[in-house]
Amino acid sequence: MAMVLQVTTFLQQYLYSRPDVKALTKQEDAVRLGIIGASAMINAASIIHPVETHPGAKIVAVASRDIKDAQDTAKKYNVPKAYGSYEELLADPEIEAVYISTPNGLHGEWAIKSLQAGKHVLLEKPFTANGLEARRVFEAADQAGKLCCEAFHWQFHPASHVVKSLISSGKFGDIIRTNARMITPKNTIPASDIRWQWALAGGALMDETYALHSTRYYVGGDPETLLPTGVKPEVVSARSRPYSKDKRVDSASWADLKFTQPNGKTVESSIYVDLDQPNFAYVLPKFWELPSIEIECEKATVYYYNFMMPHIYHYIAITDKITKHTTYQKHYNYGPKWKDTGDTHWSTYRYQLEAFVDKVRGREPKHWITAEDSIAQMETIDAIYEKTGLGPRPVASEVEGQ
């Protein structure tokens, strides 16, 4: 139901960016942003509306390979400049940072070009086509002395940090196992969609990469735990259901993972992602199945429902393994990392933007997705694809005919 969540987020962010809450007066040092990939459906919720309510950021240009798309977007959202090529936008000296929402297989190419042009980069997930390309992007960032952050917006939300603090506090004992899932009902995504295109690094594991990312974050992947941000599990087993029209693309993937902690203990994890999940009783889409993760510890099990977009709706269910009693929590602001910043109406994208602007301006962000984390994420995806027999996704520029 990821697409339904996105549409709901568009509406939520549109309502929250109404005139009485817009940051109509921008700060003199507002970060000047450009958008690469003007026609992407996600842009309104992921960057445009969040910027409207942030006094420290403004969008000054959008670019598309079709100048009309760029002009239409610029007119719709009152963006001053529209470009008919990405190169033109990168040549604009006014732009300090870019948000990139191109197809997956183009992420790395345009992130590197943006960094080389002297721009900071907020790059949509999945970070790149594969792990090797992810390393190349961060090498380019180091050489340019610029920031590059993967836009894993879900992890910036207060609710996600609350779950992290519950797990890492030790009050429930060690983690034993986790199970994460994310699905899209059958026939929701049209055959022409880029998610099905092998040459553009499509596939369920790529598009619904949140399931793996949440698993890595809660088992490790953060300085608050014993495991480092670059934690990578062993892929014990994995399988995919190939897409009917291109067997190189996975319409669904399953993986069993094993994390080994410094103390020698292991955590067994499973993930399931599906871009074309069969309907219940063949007719009813499973609309109730939102992206979720279950984390079983020694003393309790924590279930985080709708971790992908918790600003719309979520709950954290904690079940005591002895009493069988379940308590529920919801957190739309505050939390361990946002005590003095945030609003109940902020989306995951708005929290993410707050951190990105702080980092660009040299302030310590409340949360950040590190280079080590993004590299480990892509290398784990590669390892899962290797295990399924499909192999890592290609870089678009290296595919013949692209």
| Whether residues 22 and 170 fall in one domain | no
- Structural domain includes residue 344: no
Lowest mean pLDDT segment, chosen from 16-30, 344-358, 360-374: 16-30
> Above 70 in pLDDT, residue 23?
no
Residue pLDDT, tens place only, 194-216:
999 999 999 999 999 999 999 99
| Whether residues 185 and 147 fall in one domain | no
In whole angstroms, give the CA distance from residue 108 to residue 303.
34
Rounded mean pLDDT of 5-12? Answer: 55
- CATH code: domain of residue 127: 3.40.50.720
- CATH code: domain of residue 184: 3.30.360.10
pLDDT attached to residue 399: 78
Cβ–Cβ < 8 Å for 154, 246: no
> Above 60 in pLDDT, residue 7?
no
> CB neighbours (10 Å) of residue 356?
29
> Above 60 in pLDDT, residue 274?
yes
| Whether residues 147 and 267 fall in one domain | no
- Structural domain includes residue 163: yes
List the one residue out of 226, 187, 230, 189 whose CA is nearest residue 206: 189
| Whether residues 16 and 134 fall in one domain | yes
* Cα→Cα distances 133→114, 129, 150, 206, Å: 15, 7, 13, 14
| Whether residues 97 and 81 fall in one domain | yes
**Confidence label for 331 from pLDDT (cuts 50, 70 and 90):** very high
Rounded mean pLDDT of 257-275? Answer: 92
- Structural domain includes residue 396: no
Give alpha helix (H) positions in 169-201. Answer: none
Residue pLDDT, tens place only, 339-355:
999 999 999 999 999 99
| Whether residues 85 and 139 fall in one domain | yes
Query: In total, how many domains does the chain have?
Result: 2
In whole angstroms, give the CA distance from residue 227 to residue 235.
17
| Whether residues 107 and 164 fall in one domain | no
Residue pLDDT, tens place only, 43-87:
999 999 999 999 999 999 999 999 999 999 999 999 999 999 999
| Whether residues 141 and 262 fall in one domain | no
- Structural domain includes residue 361: no
pLDDT attached to residue 247: 97
Which of 105, 130, 153 is where one domain is finished? 153
**Confidence label for 21 from pLDDT (cuts 50, 70 and 90):** low
pLDDT attached to residue 25: 87
Helix (H, G, I), strand (E, B) or coil at 326: strand
> Residue 392, preceding bond cis, omega within 30 degrees?
no
> Above 80 in pLDDT, residue 263?
no
- Structural domain includes residue 359: no
Q: What is the domain extent for residue 73?
A: 2-153
pLDDT attached to residue 40: 81
> Above 60 in pLDDT, residue 389?
yes
Rounded mean pLDDT of 108-131? Answer: 98
| Whether residues 123 and 222 fall in one domain | no
- Structural domain includes residue 260: yes
Which of 153, 170, 201 is where one domain is finished? 153
- Structural domain includes residue 279: yes
Task: Report the percent of the chain where pLDDT is more than 90.
Answer: 82
| Whether residues 180 and 146 fall in one domain | no
Task: Provide the residue type at 8 as one letter.
Answer: T
| Whether residues 166 and 106 fall in one domain | no
In whole angstroms, give the CA distance from residue 380 to residue 257.
10
Cβ–Cβ < 8 Å for 194, 236: no
> Above 80 in pLDDT, residue 393?
yes
pLDDT attached to residue 400: 57
Which of 91, 123, 153 is where one domain is finished? 153
Copy the structure tokens of residue 51.
Answer: 């910027």
> Above 70 in pLDDT, residue 357?
yes
Pairing of strands 300-305, 234-243: unpaired
| Whether residues 233 and 105 fall in one domain | no
pLDDT attached to residue 56: 97
Lowest mean pLDDT segment, chosen from 6-20, 94-108, 125-139, 307-321: 6-20
- Structural domain includes residue 81: yes
pLDDT attached to residue 222: 55
Rounded mean pLDDT of 146-172? Answer: 96
If you average pLDDT over every residue of the chain, what do you get?
A: 91
